[in-house]
Amino acid sequence: MKNIGLIQKYLKRVLVVLVFILIFYLGYTDIVTNINDNSIDAALKYYQDKSGSETDMEGIRAASIRLGCHEEIRIYKNNEILMRVNYVNGRIYE
């Protein structure tokens, strides 16, 4: 009986850690930070240039994630990622 209690104790701890990791990871990657509106504007312009000037931009949105020395910007339409780009020192990189 003592072993079952010990196993349950460790399983609860593992479960808490896993939930924390999932929440942190999923929450972090999908947070719209908009730290730098220039990066969002540059990414949207880059997307429009790459996909053609006649691209319908209605419903297109961008989310910026700060990753230390650069930002990752994701372009979405209907919650589907269309493009990921990086913004470093005022430049966009695919």
Interval 46-86: pLDDT, tens: 999 998 877 788 889 898 888 878 889 999 988 899 999 99
Model-wide pTM > 0.85: no
Residue 65 near residue 72, CB atoms below 8 Å = yes
CA separation, residue 90 to residues 8, 42, 47, 52 (Å): 52, 8, 16, 22
Domain boundaries, the chain: 1-30, 33-94
